[in-house]
């Protein structure tokens, strides 16, 4: 088992490079199942969820070539000849394994996949995914707890989502991309990773229009072969930067004070996060270089850390992302004036709040909102001999504990680092390079990671 040991209260200075987006990577890798040729993916984050989804594809018959640079892989999907996924244990390790439903259904007209796992911060239904598959012509059966979809070929249709769902939008795109005719998805999710998935599929030969708007239009194609063979172009696609990783480093430096430069970001994806960070008293500057594909953001906090006067309300993109809600709450818990955070995407995503209270945070929890009060003297860890121990209950809850531990004077131990490692590439190395006193301690090996 791994835990982070953080001796907090140290200001952060220096530069950090943001990795590729987890939630784009875990959608685009299953999308390769639909392709008819091998393709190379670049800027993949070196995180557990990516290695798990690659292993699932390998177990299905894909050939995955890895390189010295772990951010690059080549996937040859041509060995995938069955619509059935047998590797229950790997599938249960992550949520995004359910994108294999859309991908296999799109490829074979059938899919048979065990139920997904993933962060269990609250109930995560998949009724909208099933509704989309049924609208495209599939019949859904629950056989021995497996999700089974059958069809005599999919056809274009109209699909409306209520509520807006990232995962269901992605699964609908995957299933519709090779379906006969036109599919229109209304109330579609607009997250940057939806656009990235559509850009990847279009690059491979799909016909997807208006991804990133409420209404996505897909005209089914027969093949996904990438650029014409005689173009001599390598079939290669680069994943977008991770907006939540970037936002987490912004929250970290706003919490500790200092000044950091965050490289490889797309500021457009970060607008709602930068607005909140600015409200806390930090100065955020975007630096764009027309010769570089990505931007740089500097975040500096020299004065007091303030709470947010405006409520922080999560909502689908371009609103404030729910995945930033736990780390932002940790930041606001260290501020010198009160804030209110409203969670409007998930029914319950506050299970980490009692862990923050162990560091002295004063937070009142209502049904879907938190009132965060200033703590005189700030958050407090313990001593080397008697640290305060908190748990990473899931990926973003774990990120919140890291932000709080960095802000708190004294020593904080964050148990269950495995959850954080699912989504943050080398968080210890990146924070240590910024001057944080953080290390990972592996203290016992137990193979009980079933619920990841
Ligand atoms: C994606 O989850 C992300 N995961 C989540 O990030 C993120 O919190 C979420 O989108 C919202 O932004 C991945 O991309 C792998 P949803 P997803 O379907 O697709 C309801 C992280 O930490 N709903 O957009 O599962 C649902 O209950 C993870 O990186 C239904 O009612 O989320 C929720 O209230 C955690 N029926 C709302 O929609 C359904 O069939 C939005 O969920 C599906 C969803």
Render pLDDT for 198-232 as a digit per residue (tens, 0 to 9): 999 999 999 999 999 999 999 999 999 998 877 77
Catalytic residue annotation = 119
Show the domain range for 53.
22-238
Are the C-beta atoms of residues 297 and 362 closer than 8 Å to each other? Answer: no
Instruction: State which of 28, 124, 420 you would mutate to test the pocket of ligand 1, scoring each by most atoms of that ligand within 8 A of its C-beta.
Output: 124
Mean pLDDT of the chain: 95
Distance CA 214, CA 272 (A): 18
Residues 249 and 233 in one domain: no
Q: Ligand 1 atom closest to Cα of 163?
A: 38
269 in the same domain as 228: no
Residue ID of nearest Cα to ligand 1 atom 7: 323
Q: How buried is residue 81: exposed, middle or buried, by Cβ count under 10 Å (0-12/13-18/19+)? A: exposed
Give the pLDDT of residue 119. Answer: 63
Of 212, 238, 264, which residue sits at a domain end? 238
Q: How far is the CA of 96 from the centre of ligand 1 (A)?
A: 10
Residues 14 and 26 both lie in one domain = no
Q: What's the pLDDT score for residue 93?
A: 86
Lowest pLDDT segment from 23-32, 131-140, 440-449? 440-449
Q: Of 5-14, 92-101, 371-380, 434-443, where does mean pLDDT reach its minimum?
A: 92-101
pLDDT score for 120: 64
Both 188 and 258 in one domain: the answer is no
* Residue (of 62, 159, 145) closest to 104 by Cα position: 62
CA of 56 to the centre of ligand 1 (A): 21
- Are 292 and 370 members of one domain? yes
Domain boundary among 179, 207, 238: 238
Residue 28 sits in the same domain as residue 7: no
Shared domain for 181 and 259, answered yes or no, is: no
Task: Tell me, yes or no, whether 190 and 290 share the same domain.
Answer: no
- Name the residue among 373, 372, 424 with its Cα closest to residue 402: 424
Give pLDDT, residue 122: 66
Q: How many A from CA of 106 to the centre of ligand 1?
A: 21
- Domain finish residue from 219, 238, 257: 238
Return the best residue to mutate from 49, 118, 167, 399 for the ligand 1 pocket (most ligand atoms within 8 A of CB). 167
| Ligand 1: lining residues by beta carbon, under 6 Å | 23, 26, 95-96, 119, 124-129, 163, 165-168, 189, 322-323, 345-346, 395-396, 423
Give 42's contacts (C-beta < 8 A, 6+ positions apart): 20, 71, 72, 236, 237, 238, 239
- Work out how many domains the chain is built from and give that number: 2
Asked whether residue 216 falls in the same domain as residue 274, the answer is no
Among protein residues, the one whose CA lies closest to atom 19 of ligand 1: 167
What would the mean pLDDT of 231-257 be, rounded to a whole number? 95
Q: Do 105 and 66 have their domain in common?
A: yes
Amino acid 143: pLDDT: 87
Phi-psi region of 196 (alpha: psi -120 to 50; beta: other; left: phi over 0): alpha
- Atom index in ligand 1 nearest the CA of residue 122 equals 27
Rounded Cα gap, residues 157 and 177, in angstroms: 12
CATH number at residue 105: 3.65.10.10
State whether 225 and 253 are in the same domain.
no
pLDDT, position 118: 67
Let me know whether 228 and 248 are in one domain: no
Nearest C-alpha to atom 18 of ligand 1 is from which residue?
A: 165
- Whether residue 450 is predicted with pLDDT greater than 50 in this model: the reply is no
pLDDT band at residue 400, thresholds of 50, 70 and 90?
very high
């Amino acid at each position: 088992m791994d835990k982070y040991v953080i001796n907090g209260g140290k200001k952060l200075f220096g530069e950090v490079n943001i990795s590729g987006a987890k939630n784009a990577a875990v959608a685009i890798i299953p999308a390769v199942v639909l392709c008819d040729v091998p393709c190379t993916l670049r800027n993949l984050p070196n995180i557990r969820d990516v290695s798990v989804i690659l292993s699932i594809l390998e177990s299905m018959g894909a050939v995955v070539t890895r390189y010295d640079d772990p951010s690059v892989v080549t996937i040859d999907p041509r060995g995938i000849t069955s619509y059935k996924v047998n590797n229950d244990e790997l599938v249960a390790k992550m949520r995004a394994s359910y994108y294999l439903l859309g991908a296999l259904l799109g490829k074979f007209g059938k899919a048979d996949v065990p139920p997904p796992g993933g962060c269990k911060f609250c109930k995560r239904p998949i009724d909208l995914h099933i509704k989309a598959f049924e609208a495209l012509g599939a019949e859904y059966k629950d056989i021995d707890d497996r999700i089974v979809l059958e069809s005599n070929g999919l056809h274009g249709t109209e699909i409306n989502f209520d509520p807006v769902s990232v995962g269901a939008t992605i699964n609908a795109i995957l299933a519709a991309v090779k379906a006969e005719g036109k599919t229109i998805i209304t109330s579609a999710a607009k997250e940057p990773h939806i656009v990235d998935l559509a850009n990847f599929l279009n690059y491979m030969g799909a016909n997807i229009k208006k991804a990133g708007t409420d209404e996505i239009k897909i005209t089914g194609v027969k093949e996904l072969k990438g650029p014409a063979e005689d173009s001599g172009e390598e079939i290669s696609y680069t994943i977008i930067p991770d907006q939540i990783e970037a936002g987490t480093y912004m929250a970290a430096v706003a919490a500790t004070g200092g000044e950091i430069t965050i490289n490889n970001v797309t500021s457009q994806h970060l607008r709602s996060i930068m607005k909140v960070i600015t409200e806390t008293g930090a100065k955020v500057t975007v630096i764009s270089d027309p010769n570089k594909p990505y931007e740089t953001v500097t975040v500096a906090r020299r004065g007091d850390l303030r709470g947010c006067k405006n409520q922080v309300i999560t909502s689908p993109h371009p609103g404030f992302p729910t995945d930033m809600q736990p780390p932002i709450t940790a930041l606001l818990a260290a501020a010198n004036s009160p804030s209110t955070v409203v969670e409007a995407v998930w029914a319950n995503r506050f299970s980490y709040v009692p862990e923050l209270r162990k560091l002295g945070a004063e937070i009142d929890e209502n049904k879907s909102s938190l009132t965060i009060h200033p703590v005189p003297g700030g958050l407090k860890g313990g001593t080397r001999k008697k640290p305060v121990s908190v748990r990473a209950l899931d990926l973003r809850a774990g990120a919140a504990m890291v932000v709080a531990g960095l802000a708190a004077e004294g020593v904080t131990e964050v148990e269950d680092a495995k959850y954080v490692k699912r989504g943050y590439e080398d968080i210890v190395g990146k924070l240590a390079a910024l001057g944080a006193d953080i290390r990972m301690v592996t203290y016992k090996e137990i193979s009980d990671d079933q619920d990841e």
